[in-house]
A and B are shown apart, each in its own frame.
Chain A
Amino acid sequence: MSVDVILVIVVVTALAFDFTNGFHDTANVVATSISTRAIGPRRAVAIASVLNFAGAFISLKVADTVGQGFVDTHVITTTVVFAGLVGAITWNLMTWYLGLPSSSSHALIGGLVGAVIAAEGWSAVSGQGLVTKLIVPAIVAPLVAFAAAWLSVLLVYRIVRRVRPGGVSRGFKLGQVVSGGLLALSHGTNDAQKTMGVITLALVASGKLSAANFHVPVWVVIAAATAISLGTFTGGWRIIKTMGTKIISMDAAQGFVAQTAGAAVILAASHSGYPLSTTHVISGGITGAGAAKRLSAVRWGVAREIVVAWILTLPSAALVGAAIYVIANLFGHGDAGPIVLSAVLGIGVLAVFLSARRGRGQLSARGGATALEATQP
């Protein structure tokens, strides 16, 4: 009975994380299309939502590998998974509130690593796994996307400089619809599966599934796909605003190139079995597209804030994950800890959303709403 209660809490928390993942990372795939007005905000978010849902069904192999390579998966219990998820949700909400694009995947891994350290000590964490699968990709991915977008924009501007700007803009806006769609599909195949993997991991840890016959149940696939799709549909407008207007003011050609460079890097990396964060890639692509026009076109202060958020993601989520594990165990090894903490988390999430809504209202009342905010539903 006790295990069942904790399991239900873990599943609900995992789906809550999936939801935050959806609205946190919506910006990755729609911000450039919205800011260049290639597509309306409602339609962009709706298309991204549908493609995220579809992408979640394409393959399940990522779901099998969650946690592998970073921590000793044998030491994972339902309470560890719960604590890791709370760490990831907390970081996602904080960065969303501040409008900073950070990696949901890094937050999830950070939360799990922190909870595992609190439960079993440092020996249960693979330093090599963290360096090769997390830290190096986090440095390389945005730099490659930056270089790809920078070079592409330079060449594109040369090619189109002698033709009518209106026609060029219309052409690139059409191209953005396709490149944005490819990004959304790619995002769905990656991120929804991480939640599926976490829920399946919890089912194995609670003895509901055999570790020898590790497979993702159909209801888990449907629930995770629905949660990320709903989160995407809700739309994280704060991060969309940062990605779409605060880093650079982009034209349609830059938007198309940033998305194309992002899709190219993600697909090339996935094809080589090299894990990376879609957030890092798209941010690098947008910055590279802006820098190609002129270096001063990039608001480097905003870019610096984003990089700081990336650096802090893993340790912050890990700290919260570890703290939650420790606090949950103060209530004993039963279900009291997760029940109390999930109630506190629910109240905290509600408070953050209410505060965010109030802040947006005040901003609009002062006449400070940007064009992007004015177009949001």
Chain B
Amino acid sequence: MSLFVSSYAAAIVRVVWSSILASVTVSVVFSVAIVGLIRAGELRRASRGGTAVAYTVFATCALLVCAAAVVYGLILVGEKN
């Protein structure tokens, strides 16, 4: 019984921290990507091409991280049951 309770509580704790961590990470990284893309556009219009490229690369990396999170989510959907 105590083994059941401890493994059950452990599952709850795992769900709590992993879901908060995943939610915060994806939201923050996606926000950073949006800010990067908007800044890149502004810099391009201000003829500061070099910095604009840096922002674009930065935003693309952030979007790739989000895409990886979505793919991981799809894998979990496939195997969760």
Contacts and interface: CB of A to CB of B under 8 A. Distances in A.
Interface of A: 55, 58-62, 132, 136, 140, 144-145, 147-149, 151-153, 155-156, 159-160, 163-164, 167-168, 171-172, 175, 178, 182, 185-186, 189-190, 193, 253, 256-257, 260-261, 263-265, 267-274
A185 B76 CA distance: 11
B12 interface: yes
Contacts of A263: 73
Contacts of B46: none
Interface residues of B, number: 35
Contacts of A62: 81
B51 interface: no
B61 to A, nearest CB: 16
Nearest to A188: B77
A193 B30 contact: no
Contacts of A265: 15, 19, 23
Contacts, number: 134
Contacts of A153: 27
A132 B8 contact: yes
Given A159-B31, A168-B34, A172-B34, A268 B70 contact: no
A61 B77 CA distance: 12
Given A156-B31, A159-B31, A160-B31, A268 B19 contact: yes
Nearest to B24: A152
Contacts of B35: 159-160, 163, 168
A234 B41 CA distance: 41
B80 A155 contact: no
B53 interface: no
Given A144-B20, A163-B35, A189-B81, A272 B11 contact: yes
Contacts of A261: 19, 23, 27
B68 interface: no
Most chain A CB within 10 A, of B18, B39, B77, is at B77
A271 B11 CA distance: 10
B26 interface: yes
8 closest A-B pairs by beta carbon, nearest first, are: A171-B34, A148-B23, A270-B80, A268-B19, A152-B27, A59-B81, A264-B22, A61-B81
B23 A189 contact: no
A14 to B, nearest CB: 19
Nearest to A60: B81
Nearest to B1: A128
B12 A260 contact: no
